[in-house]
Chain A
Amino acid sequence: MRRFDIQLAELNDMLIEMGAMIEKAITQASQALKEQDVELAKKVMEEEKYIDRQEKDIEALCLKLLLQQQPVAKDLRTISAALKMITDMERIGDQAADISEIIVMMGGAPYIKKLEHISQMGEATIKMVTESIDAYVKKDLQLAKAVIKYDDVVDDLFDRVKFELIELIRAADSNCEQAIDLLMIAKYFERIGDHARNIAKWVVFSIRGRKTKKG
């Protein structure tokens, strides 16, 4: 195997590793939310720095490859897609940490409502992130497109959560501050869905050389 192919394989491994790190961060943030596990939430916040470091390492490798190998065709697409994807992946790490920070602030106060749809948002975004990374690894165009489409599910769930929380606030007999906190958590999940969709779009670009029609 020539040196450039070894370096590309290394880039692939590092992206898979970063993908696993952000999947773990969202999974643990979701679990901490569901179980009101403040310690687990703190752990997610603490480990965010490893995701940031991984982003920097991948970025450095991509820039080195652009400089040394002057890639073209699929190599150029792979490296430029990787450079764009890690920005979204790093943001997902940030948002998992932001969710965790709110969980810590809320402490163990009983929830004003059953977390049905927010939990579903967590599950849906985990699925999107996992599948977008899978699509990259397997160069699976259909899976990437499915992830892009699935973002609608997360957006619908967000609208539902928002509507439910507005109703609770309007009733005025509940903890309004917690309602706002939960709305922010839902918004972070919704943003994670957007970032996973962006990752999937770059996967589409790396496979066929152009992004989806909607950019």
Chain B
Amino acid sequence: MEKVSKFSLKDVNLWYSDFQALKNINMEIPANFITAFIGPSGCGKSTLIKSLNRMNDLIEGCRITGDILLDNESIHGNIDVNMLRKRVGMVFQKPNPFPMSVFDNVAYGPRTHGIKSKFRLNEIVEKSLCDAAIWDEVKDRLKKSALSLSGGQQQRLCIARALSVQPDVLLMDEPTSALDPISTAKIEELVIKLKDSYTIVIVTHNMQQATRISDRTGFFLLGELVEYGKTERIFSVPKDKRCEDYITGRFG
């Protein structure tokens, strides 16, 4: 059965002033799939993932043509950017908890969206921390500073924070590159579990991670989407020689 697209990218071009960072990207990102973006540094994969919730809007000189549809609706049309970012959450490479308590980190988003009820906030915080597979580790120290957690715990806290506003999509830009193998394994397990409820797009430099967790993989090079397809196929029988050279380490 054909998967429903969460994102549809139509002829997306993006420039940073004179530099064209994305060239004519066309792709469908299926709902409830994990889609991995791979490619060498500077290939445009992080630019593209940031375009999915318009984080690039903040960059001076950034210009975009073509369109990105979220559930068949343009994210560049008549849409509230704050609501877009509520629906499309993001987790970054380095864990970036706010310098406040574990509880307040997770409650921050719901509070900014107007939820004041203590009972409701307690509910959201517990559910988000449970969904991010960190509840058992922090339930007795919700009032402690988030900065006292380990790197892996901080990253899962950031995932809980992203989940607290009930997004549809989770964008992850190299979410485990600063973590040890055990924390990485926990995040990977978590991401696989989350795809039942969320659409996940992940940028990774770790090929094995892409093969382990993603359903679809897109290989980017010099701003182009060179090859895109089922992860297992990309990593066993890639069609494009540039993709084969990159994933087998013979690039450049």
Contact = CB atoms under 8 A, between A and B. Distances in A.
Does A pair with B? Answer: yes
Contacts, number: 31
B5 to A, nearest CB: 27
Contacts of B238: 73
B248 A72 contact: yes
B237 A75 contact: no
Nearest to A72: B235
A210 interface: yes
A209 B247 contact: no
B247 A72 contact: yes
Contacts of B249: 2, 4
B237 A73 contact: yes
Contacts of B248: 71-75
A75 B236 CA distance: 9
Given A4-B249, A209-B236, A74 B244 contact: yes
Chain A interface helix/strand/loop/mixed: helix
Interface string B203-214: 000011001000
B67 to A, nearest CB: 33
Contacts of A5: 250
Contacts of B235: 72-73, 76
Contact of A209 (B207, B237, B250): B237
A70 interface: yes
B211 A210 contact: no
A77 interface: yes
Q: How large is the interface on A (under 10, 10 to 19, 20 to 34, 35 or more residues)?
A: 10 to 19
Contacts of A77: 236-237
Contact of B236 (A2, A4, A70, A72): A72
Contacts of A208: 237
| A72, A74, A210: residue with the most chain B Cβ atoms closer than 10 Å | A72
B208 A73 contact: no
A198 B157 CA distance: 52
A68 B211 CA distance: 17
Contacts of A4: 249
A70 B208 contact: yes
A2 to B, nearest CB: 8
A208 B239 CA distance: 10
A76 B249 CA distance: 13
A72 B208 CA distance: 9
A5 B248 CA distance: 10
A73 B217 CA distance: 14
Nearest to B207: A72
Contacts of A2: 249-250
Contacts of A74: 244, 248
Interface of A: 2, 4-5, 70-77, 208-210
Given A72-B207, A73-B235, A208-B237, 9 more contacts: A5-B250, A71-B248, A72-B235, A72-B247, A73-B247, A75-B248, A76-B235, A77-B237, A209-B236
Interface of B: 207-208, 211, 235-238, 244, 247-250
13 contacts: A2-B249, A2-B250, A70-B208, A71-B248, A72-B211, A72-B235, A72-B236, A72-B248, A73-B238, A73-B248, A76-B235, A77-B236, A209-B237
